[in-house]
Structure 1
């Protein structure tokens, strides 16, 4: 509701109004202009100037927009962790996930280099995957910076494991495209097999759980990804023996 440009334009009195609204938004949405003026120790004309700065004709329009803004921020119901895990395993064992994991493990076992990529929470799990694979004897690396130079020796006979919930992250897609063109085999772990990253992969392992968002942040469970990574690493270990 308040852009950085608008906040920067506030004078001292307007900033005090802004601070009060941030702390008492639910209360302000039902106040009269005189009541807000008394609470913030400013004149009603100052409040009207404040409203015009946030693109409102008057205080009434401001309150309507404030109520809409607060409604968007209402907390959504979060599923229990048990629900997400049960949902995943019910689908996993009915489909071809184990076969896909075996295919991916076979590719990795034959590779000289293993590169993990991912952004955000997928990046954290990519780093975990690289460490877990290395711990079981298949040295792997995690590349955080999508512009990070990768030596041609490492790209030769390499496998890239791309982690992405949506499979549409532009940074991950750029990395996958670059590494694929340079000859690396692509294994992707995504939430569905119809995403852009999935479609250009040699092997895609899709886990299909309901995506969840909280205050515009993707909080989709990552338990399936941990299961897939650990299962793949153990299968690779068996193949290398």
Structure 2
């Protein structure tokens, strides 16, 4: 039986074991970095309880759990769709076949990104944005479109968000950010020279840095205060379009927006209604 299945079914688990199972499912990646003592502290259990828990689900102990849990997650993340993310269709494909392949490609990208997005990281990201005096969004190339979309959403609930529309001006924007501000960097590869330069400026100014990237070991990701990972499927070389990466980044940004909205639901709901009402009134007046 898969570890994830055992954690979800929770057969004959006592209360402490249910707490452990729920915690692991909600912190899928981060628990791999925990010692047994850290996991015990985080779940208000004991190391002996964790060892018994591991044996109950068919493992030798905590070390065995970490090895097999890591392998299980990796297998899950690496489930490869039959569609090539770089060249998802060919000249021989019919319109219905192209439609089906794009659907499969986007669905797989969303599922893989969801699988590696922990609740803990998302919560920390939302806190960074909510507590920032100003939010700056920094994107380049294909990531600029989801950045613009995200700015539009935040603007409509009166969040203090800035995104440069003039090429080159993003460096001046970064230079004006400080320790009370939060910068959101969108870089699928994590190796964009332009964004790396900007991230260094932000780091020097002690601004909070939130990075969305498919490469946790990239130069940009290493400068982040917090990384939100997206599924890595596309190559960094030639491809027909950024189908998978755009979908993955949009998924993370839409999730962030939803969490931010819910954090002040009544206030944001009222703002959206008022905004739409004003636009509707303006249409009739004209």
Please indicate, yes or no, whether the TM-score normalized by the shorter chain is above 0.5.
Answer: yes
Q: How many residue pairs were aligned?
A: 166
Partner of 1:78: 88
Secondary structure, counterpart of 1:149 in structure 2: helix
Q: Give the deviation of 1:187 after TM superposition.
A: 0.6
Normalised to the residue count of structure 2, the TM-score between the two structures is 0.52
Partner of 2:129: 108
Q: Map 1:78-227 to 2 at 5 A.
A: 78=88, 80-143=101-164, 144-145=167-168, 148-150=171-173, 154-212=177-235, 215=238, 219-221=242-244, 222-227=246-251
Normalised to the residue count of structure 1, the TM-score between the two structures is 0.60
Q: Give the deviation of 1:125 after TM superposition.
A: 1.9
Write out per-residue CA displacement over residues 129-165 of structure 1, whole angstroms, 9 at most, x where no aligned residue.
2112222331311135256423877535100000011
Structure 2: segments with no counterpart, 5+ residues: 1-85, 90-100, 266-286
Alpha-carbon separation, structure 2, partners of 1:168 and 1:146: 20
Partners of 1:136 and 1:233 within 8 A in 2: no
More strand by share: 1
Residue 234 of structure 1: which of 258, 278, 281 is its match?
258
Does the C-alpha gap of structure 1 residues 215 and 240 become closer, same or farther in structure 2, counting only changes over 3 Å?
same
Alpha-carbon separation, structure 1, partners of 2:233 and 2:139: 20
Partners of 2:106 and 2:243 within 8 A in 1: no
Larger Rg: 1
* Cα RMSD for the two superposed structures: 2.6
Q: Which 10-residue stretch deviates more, 87-96 or 155-164? A: 87-96
Partners of 2:190 and 2:213 within 8 A in 1: yes
Structure 1: segments with no counterpart, 5+ residues: 1-75
Secondary structure, counterpart of 1:210 in structure 2: coil
Does the C-alpha gap of structure 1 residues 139 and 87 become closer, same or farther in structure 2, counting only changes over 3 Å?
same
Write out per-residue CA displacement over residues 203-237 of structure 1, whole angstroms, 9 at most, x where no aligned residue.
11111131057856663520111111111012112
Write out per-residue CA displacement over residues 33-89 of structure 1, whole angstroms, 9 at most, x where no aligned residue.
xxxxxxxxxxxxxxxxxxxxxxxxxxxxxxxxxxxxxxxxxxx74252222222223
Alpha-carbon separation, structure 1, partners of 2:242 and 2:108: 16
